[in-house]
Structures are given as C-alpha cells and as structure tokens.
C-alpha cells in the first residue's frame, strides 16, 4: 500500500534524489548479495548482451568517464535455474553496459512482478531466455544515459519501461521505444505497476472484447494486477456489470474498486452464481486460468460473446513445477472448431503481452490512451506491497499463494542493516517451515502408498477368496447344466 | 442493375400503387404456378404457423372483411425437398394468415437471395425447418395489416423484413421487431438487398473485427453480397487496405467499389499475392469459404489479428449436395487451441445471422447504424439482377455459379405472358442441357470406372507374375541358407 498512501509529490521529490545516492553504493553493503568474481555483463536488450564494456569494437557512446567502466557495478536479480523461489538470486554485475544507437540506460527504481515471472521460474514461459538470465518485464526509473540517435529521451527523464525480460536489475539498457515518459504526479511504484497489467487489460477489453455500455463481463482473479486494471477500465464505460472471482476476504476491496458481483470461487460454483444473475450469460470472459475454466467460460458466452484467454495460471500449483497440474491443464486446454463458433456467434481470443514485444506501435497506441486515463484520474494502479530485491522470494510467494490485492512491487532501494538481520531470521524459519511442509508431504505420500499397498493386499486376499469360491460355483453350474 | 439505375422517386411512386393491383390478381394468371387444392396456410412466423384463418380461438384482429378470408390467396415459393434448383416450386397458398399480438402482415415486393438459401436447398442449413417450407431470410414490402398491441407500424408503412425463414412469399406475417422502416429514397430492391449482407458485414467488421484506420483486410468473394457490403463499410474508415478475391472479369467493378487489391483466386495463389504487398500479414480475414481456406486465413493474421468465419461455401459444388465436397470441407474445417491463440495474439470468431435471430436488440442497433450510413450516402446495395418468383431456379443458379456482382433479387411482380412463353422454351433447353451434363458426368464416371477396372486387372496380372516368381526366389534363398 506504500505507494498509494504516500503523498505523490513528496515521494517524487525524494526519489529524484536517489540516483546519485545509489551510485555510491557498493555491493559489499549487502551481505546477502552473491558477489561473483566475473559475471558476464548482461543488459535487458538482447542485442546488447554480447557487448561488454571492454569490447573495443563497440564503444559505448554515452559513457563519458572511461575509468568508470571498470568500477561500474550494479545489483541484479538472476534466475539461476528452474525451480522454487530460491532460484532467483541477487547478484552483482560489473562493467558498464554498452549503449547502441536508439538505446537508453535507465537507473531502475521499482520493478513490477507478474504471473509470467512465476511461470518463467518454473520453466513454463518460453519467452524468457535460458538461465542464467535476469527476469522482469516492467520497471520504472530515471534515464542515466542515451545512445546515438536518441532524440526523444534525455538524461533525467522519468520513465516506465516494458521489455520482454531483464528488468529486475538496478541498471537496464533498452531500446527507447520500450520506454514511456511518466506523467506528472505518478509515483515510481505506480509506474512500475502500470505497463503489463493495464496494456493487457486494455487490449483485451477494447480491441478483442469491444466492450460497450450495458455489457457484462467475468474477471477471474479480480484482486490480481490484471483483474484490478480490468475492473477500473470497465468503469470507464457506462453500466458494465463486472462479475469478479476472489476469495471472500478480498470482496470488500474489489467491490469498492468496481466489481458489481464478487464471487468466492473457493466456496461457490461461479457458473451457477453468474447464471442466477445473468441467465443469458456474458458478453466477455477474461480467462487467465486455462484448463477446465476455459470450457466453463466459453459456455457462459452470449451470442456475439468473446472469450479471451490470457494465461494458464492453473498450471501453477506449488513453488516448483507440478507436472500433474501442468499435464492436467494442458490436457484440458480448450480447442474449438469454427463451425461451433459460427453456430454460437462467438469469438475465442488469445492474448499475451510477452508475445507482442515487437509490436511497438500497437503498444505505444495503447499506452497513450492509458496515460491519458491516468491523467484524468480514471485509473490508478493499486499497490499491494513493496519488497526489496533481497526479498524477491517472499514477493513471489505472496503472489503465487494469491495473498495480494493489487500489484506486488520490488524496489531497488537496498535494505537497512537491521532489516536484513530480521530477514535472515525469518528466512531460517521459512526454510524450516518449507522443510516441515516437504517432510509432511513425503510422510503423507508414504502413508498414502502404505494405505494403497494395504488395499492392494486386501483386494488380493478378496480375489483369492473369490477364486477359491469359483471352482465350487463352477461345479454347481455344471450340475445345473447336467440337470 | 434495375433498382440502382431507375430514378428512386419515380420507382417508389409506381411501387406504392401496386398493392391494390396485386390484391385483385388470381393464381390462374400464372400457368406455371402449381395450384394445390388445400395447402396448409403457413406464415413466416413459426408461432403463427399452426393458426389458420378458420381457427375460431384466434380471431385475426386486422382482418376487416370476413368473406375475404376464404378467397384470400397468395403465391409462395416452397422448398419441396432437398436437392437441385427445381426443388423450389411456386405454389398458391389459400386463406388469410392469422395475425397475433405484436405481428404485422406484409405485402412483399422484393426478396433477397442468400448463400444460406442455397445451402438450405441442399439440406445443409439447419436453421430452415424441414420441407415443405418457404425459404427466404429477407424481403421488402408494404404493411397490409397490424396485429393487436402494434403501435410502431401502421398500414401502408414501407418496411424491410429480416426473418429466420419464410419470406419468399407474396404475403408474410412476422413479429414487428423483425421489420424496419425504409428510409426516404430507398427502392424496394435496395431494401430487400440490405438486411442480411449489411448486418453480417457490419457486425463482423465492427464488433468482432474492431476495424480501425490503417488496417488491412481480406474479403473473399468480394463481388458477392457480403463482399460488396464489407467493402463499402471498410471505406467508412480511413485508409483501410482491402484485398478482395474475385474472378478477373469482376475486378474493374470491385476496384471502383473500393477494393484496393483485387486478386483472381482462379489463376493466382492469394496468400502469395497478399504476402507480396503485406509481408506482415493482415488485421482481419473474413472467411465465407471454410475448409482449407480457413487455415490459410489464420496463417495470414498479424498479431492482434482476427479471423472471422461466416460460412462454408466450399461445401457447395454443383446444384445437388456433393458429399465429397461436404466431407472434404468438414474434414478440413479449422479448429484451434487456446495456447496457439495466446502465442499468436489472435482471435477466431464465428458469425451467422441465421443463429442470431432471437437477438432483436443487437440487430436493431446494427440496423440503426446501417440506415444512418445509407441516408448519408456512404453505403448503397448493388443490385446484380432481378428475377421473377417463377425464375427462382435461374436466380439460384446465377448465385451458385458465381456469375453475380452484387445482390440477386426476386420480385413478386408476376411475369408477363410473352415472357413466360420465352421462359418455358429456355427452361426446356436448360433441362436438356442439364441432362446432357448429367449424361456426360455419368459417361465420364463409367469411363473412369472402366479404366480403374483395367488398372486393377493389370495390377492383378503383375501380382500373379510376382507370385509366380516368388517360389523360385524362395528356393534360391533356401539354397543360400543351406550354403
């Protein structure tokens, strides 16, 4: 809630001072940080990934002080391999990333957390390059250097950034077309919360969905980032009825945010609840879940209704890849025949911003409208919580266990010493907790197997009994036949 | 072309006189008409179908002269069974259809011909009730009587009518919500040409398609009714690039109508032609063909592109149901997985007005915009040709063989005697022609079968030779093994 509650102007003033402070920080300040001797200096821009500061063939045009290139270092979150929350580690990268024509270097203030990052950690998101790699699709910060031919951005500009990956770092290099100027009064937290969720919700609702007054819509995970963005955007159209699924504890907040009918999907059948209120069905279903929920969504559509599938959150079960959940979601994945669409007058759409990263023009158009709505006060990202880079595991856990209401943000501001000590204690406890959970799971599994074995044994015994009986029965039957 | 070329006002004045004239006509005027002794009096409204004029429980409120009910008769086209063009017969129905609350009786002037009517004749359109039944989804005419509680229509109103079926008759009874007032200056031919094609094109382009300036679109059968409507509607948006398929002889007309790039699908690969001009692909594909063309359309889509399937014209091959064409189109019918849609950021939609007939509000909204565009001179139905009811076979043949540019219309105005005689001669020739074609087909089939038999024989002989060789080979192999 920090970003929303703080007075915006004061916050911005503080934040503007920070880039200078941060430049003087060394990685040694952070005991949790893994300081690798010579990590490859990577940048968010894949083209720039191969270019190191030492590479004489590609001089960095914006690097004014040559010696700085050697001493330049920055912290970065790195996915070291697929798996649990601990696979994302905080590391220090050395060497100033080279800037190519049309690129800018951004000193990052805040980063946004998305479902795709959780999928990526488990190896379920093919748009993230193979580990080791920095995740992160959105951030906000201040331009620190501009490459050749960059005329629309200057050093000191406050921007929000949208990129395929690589933005969970203190310093990122991206094409200028991937940056958008922050409007007056927007906090860095809001700026980091905005791109992925609002562009996703906007393009789904207004391009694929063609949302109009008096229509009805189902928003799953209505307390999540896209859910809240979609609800706010629905409110920009007159008399739209929003059905929103979320656990009961979140209903008050999402109702205030614009959800007409909150539904607790844990205790209620949402299809039944919707049919009670809208017997004819819905105009739009936004489906981030996949699997059997896509079928339900399709069957809820009115004539001219649109189902928009934008994820497979049902694949996520537990912190590590759950092959059963993946297989089940995949197996139940929806497929449709055009003749069925024709007879129902229906539309099925698929959306994922991660596969749209080369469509700068489309994204810029959507962003322009979104910024305008922000300036008019019609939308405002809701920040759930802000974590330090060191706490990325906790941040991911909060999102995956669906405790958040709104956006989860990572801040590049380093933790204070006392916070770190507390964090270390908590970490120990959590690890113990996780171990206990794992042990319990293993024990349960053993018990289950033991039970199964018992049952098998019993079955065998029963069958043996039956077999024993059978010859007698056969004899009787034989007798009958003889008679 | 008659409707477009005639001065609209003069034509309307003439047409307004006609209802009185027509009431005095008797079926005996038409020698071609089958006068059945006691046909069941059906009406376009399915609810009214069971109500006869003699039914004392449901008195017809608008029937002013009681004796007229017995003498009342009107000509109607009736599909007598599934099959070729001759299955649609002109019959005379007797008895004045009863009017229920909310219904109106319309004296029909002109009827529109649609692809669904061709499919229906072959038994390929499940929205038409079983034969015997009157086909026809659209017509124009003059209100002759209004039922109870009808306040928005009065006797003498010129209307266009949209209905699930039953409009190819001189007199129809429909719910008032299925009628729309004709604007000033619109001819009856235009009015009959407008509903199905323009509502279809409008809802596809602007609801499912979300067509915007600078986009690109593929319109198949660009010289057909929907094709021309879609092209005209595309022109109401700035800088839309329209690719249109049609045979070369129609290119001049469709270019003048607004098609940017006409493509002769008979001599060119339209996918290649489009890729040459739009390497990135298209924003919208309108697909009335089905089968393999749907796959091609899907693969032509840009990110955020929409494929809108609205028919399976590929199923139509020849005047009778071609099981091979049906099976092939069905087998090749497109089906898509949501994960493929997500990764491509694509949308697949199905549209058919015939399955939307209960959505009066949606249709009324679309019709209001279309009427407005007509009044502004931005759209104007193009009439290809007008046929008498007696010539419905020729009309269907023209459409099915794709000779038309624009809409084919049926007029209820009876043929003159000399025209009928000429028609009868032509009919004889056509039947001979069709017989020759059929005979040739049969002969070709026989030849084919004879060839196949020959080949089989040859194959058998060869196989027998091989078999003869085999024992020797086996012996040799056995010898080798022994060695």
* A413/B contact by beta carbon, under 8 A: no
Answer yes or no: do A355 and B342 touch at CB < 8 A: yes
Q: So what's the pLDDT on residue B425? A: 77
Residue A443 pLDDT class (50, 70, 90 cuts): confident
* Contacts A289 to B, Cβ<8 Å: none
pLDDT higher than threshold 70 for residue B194: yes
Which residues, numbered 284 to 343 in chain B, qualify as contacts with chain A under a Cβ-Cβ cut-off of 8 Å?
Answer: 290, 294, 303-304, 306, 309-312, 333-343
Report the sign of the C-alpha dihedral through residues B350, B356, B360, B366, in that order: positive
Q: What is the mean pLDDT of chain A?
A: 82
Minimal CA separation from A310 to chain B, in Å: 6
DSSP letter at A204 equals I
| pLDDT tens per residue across span A4-36 | 333 333 333 333 333 333 333 333 333 345 544
- Candidate from B290, B341, B362 with C-beta closest to A309: B341
Q: How many residues does chain A have?
A: 483
- Candidate from A208, A335, A351 with C-beta closest to B337: A335
Task: Please name every residue paired with B107 in a beta bridge, in sequence order, or none if there are none.
Answer: B142, B171
Q: What is the mean pLDDT of chain B?
A: 82
* For residue B132, cis peptide bond before it (omega within 30 degrees of 0): yes
CA dist., res. A73 & res. A76, Å (int): 10
Residue A434 pLDDT class (50, 70, 90 cuts): low
* Closest residue on chain A to B210 (Cα): A207
Minimal CA separation from A267 to chain B, in Å: 27
Q: Lowest-pLDDT range, A29-33, A274-278, A431-435? A: A29-33
CA dist., res. B238 & res. B246, Å (int): 23
DSSP letter at A33 equals S
* B359/A contact by beta carbon, under 8 A: yes
* Closest residue on chain A to B337 (Cα): A335
* A368/B contact by beta carbon, under 8 A: no
Residue B16 pLDDT class (50, 70, 90 cuts): very low
* Contacts A348 to B, Cβ<8 Å: 336, 338, 341, 347-349
Q: So what's the pLDDT on residue A328? A: 78
SS (H, E, C) B303-317: EEEEEEECCCHHHCC
Question: Taking a C-beta distance cutoff of 8 angstroms, is the pair B76, B93 a contact?
Answer: yes
Which positions ≥6 away from B145 have C-beta within 8 Å?
B60, B62, B63, B99, B104, B105, B155
Answer yes or no: do A350 and B340 touch at CB < 8 A: yes
- Candidate from A334, A343, A347 with C-beta closest to B338: A334
Using DSSP's 3-state secondary structure scheme, residue A387 falls into strand
Disruptive mutation site among B338, B360, B363, B366 for chain A (greatest number of A CBs within 10 Å) = B338
pLDDT higher than threshold 90 for residue B441: no
* Closest residue on chain A to B215 (Cα): A362
| pLDDT tens per residue across span B250-289 | 999 999 999 999 999 999 999 999 999 999 999 999 999 9
Question: Taking a C-beta distance cutoff of 8 angstroms, is the pair B40, B97 a contact?
Answer: no
CA dist., res. B37 & res. B67, Å (int): 19
Which residues, numbered 416 to 475 in chain B, qualify as contacts with chain A under a Cβ-Cβ cut-off of 8 Å?
Answer: none
Structure tokens belonging to residue B333: 């019918």
A428 vs A350, A424, A425, A432, CA distance in Å?
42, 6, 5, 6
Which run of H or of E encompasses A20?
helix A8-23
Q: Among residues of chain A, what percentage have pLDDT more than 90?
A: 63
- Candidate from A310, A338, A359 with C-beta closest to B348: A338
Structure tokens belonging to residue B128: 């038409």
Size of interface A-B (CB pairs under 8 A): 127
Minimal CA separation from A122 to chain B, in Å: 18
Q: So what's the pLDDT on residue A462? A: 58
- Please determine, for the modelled complex, whether the ipTM score is greater than 0.85: no
| pLDDT tens per residue across span A45-54 | 433 333 333 3
Q: What is the mean pLDDT of residues A66-77?
A: 81
Q: What is the mean pLDDT of residues A248-274?
A: 97
Q: Lowest-pLDDT range, A384-398, B231-245, B337-351, B467-481? A: B467-481
pLDDT higher than threshold 80 for residue A470: no
Minimal CA separation from B211 to chain A, in Å: 9
Using DSSP's 3-state secondary structure scheme, residue A94 falls into strand
Answer yes or no: do B355 and A304 touch at CB < 8 A: no
* Contacts A284 to B, Cβ<8 Å: none
Residue B56 pLDDT class (50, 70, 90 cuts): very low
A232 vs A11, A242, B193, CA distance in Å?
24, 10, 43
Minimal CA separation from A22 to chain B, in Å: 39
CA dist., res. A341 & res. B335, Å (int): 10
pTM value?
Answer: 0.78
Residue B318 pLDDT class (50, 70, 90 cuts): confident
* For residue A447, cis peptide bond before it (omega within 30 degrees of 0): no
* A350/B contact by beta carbon, under 8 A: yes
CA dist., res. A39 & res. B132, Å (int): 81
């Amino acid at each position: 809630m920090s970003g929303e509650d703080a007075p915006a102007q004061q916050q911005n003033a503080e934040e503007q001072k920070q880039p200078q402070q941060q430049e003087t920080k060394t990685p040694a300040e952070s005991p949790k940080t893994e300081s690798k001797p010579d990590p490859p200096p990577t940048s968010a821009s894949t083209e720039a990934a191969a270019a190191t500061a030492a590479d004489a063939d590609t001089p960095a045009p914006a690097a004014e002080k040559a010696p700085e290139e050697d001493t330049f270092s920055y912290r970065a979150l790195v996915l070291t391999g697929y798996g649990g929350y601990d696979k994302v580690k905080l590391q220090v990268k050395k060497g100033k990333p080279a800037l190519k024509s049309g690129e800018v270097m951004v000193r990052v203030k805040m980063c946004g957390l998305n479902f795709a990052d959780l999928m990526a950690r488990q190896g379920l998101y093919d748009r993230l390059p193979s580990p080791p790699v920095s995740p992160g699709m959105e951030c906000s910060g201040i331009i620190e250097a501009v490459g050749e031919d960059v005329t629309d951005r200057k050093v000191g500009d406050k921007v929000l950034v949208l990129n395929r990956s690589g933005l969970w770092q203190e310093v990122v290099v991206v094409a200028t077309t991937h940056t958008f100027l922050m409007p007056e009064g927007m906090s860095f937290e809001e700026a980091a919360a905005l791109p992925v969720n609002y562009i996703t919700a906007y393009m789904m609702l207004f391009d694929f969905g063609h949302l109009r007054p008096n229509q009805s819509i189902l928003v799953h995970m209505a307390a999540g980032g896209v859910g809240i963005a979609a609800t706010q955007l629905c409110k920009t159209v007159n008399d739209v009825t929003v059905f929103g699924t979320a656990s009961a504890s979140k209903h008050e907040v999402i109702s205030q945010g614009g959800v007409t009918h909150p539904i607790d999907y844990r205790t209620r059948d949402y299809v039944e609840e919707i049919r009670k209120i809208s017997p004819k069905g819905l105009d739009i279903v936004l489906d981030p879940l996949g699997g059997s929920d896509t079928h339900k969504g399709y069957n809820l559509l009115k004539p001219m209704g649109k189902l928009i599938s934008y994820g497979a959150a049902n694949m996520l079960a537990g912190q590590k890849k759950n092959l059963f959940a993946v297989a089940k979601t995949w197996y139940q994945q929806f497929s449709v025949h055009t003749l069925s669409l024709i007879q129902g007058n229906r539309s099925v759409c698929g959306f994922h911003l991660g596969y749209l990263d080369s469509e700068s023009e489309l994204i810029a158009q959507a962003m322009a409208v979104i910024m305008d709505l922000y300036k008019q006060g019609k939308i405002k990202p809701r920040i759930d919580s802000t974590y330090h880079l060191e706490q990325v595991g906790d941040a991911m856990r909060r999102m995956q266990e669906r405790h958040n209401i709104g956006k989860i943000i990572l801040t590049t501001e380093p933790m204070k010493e006392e916070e770190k000590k507390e964090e270390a204690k908590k970490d120990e406890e959590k690890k113990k907790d996780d171990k206990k959970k794992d042990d319990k799971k293993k024990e349960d599994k053993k018990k289950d197997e033991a039970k199964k074995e018992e049952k098998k044994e019993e079955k065998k015994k029963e069958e043996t009994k039956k077999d024993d009986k059978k010859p007698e029965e056969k004899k009787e039957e034989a007798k009958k036949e003889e008679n």
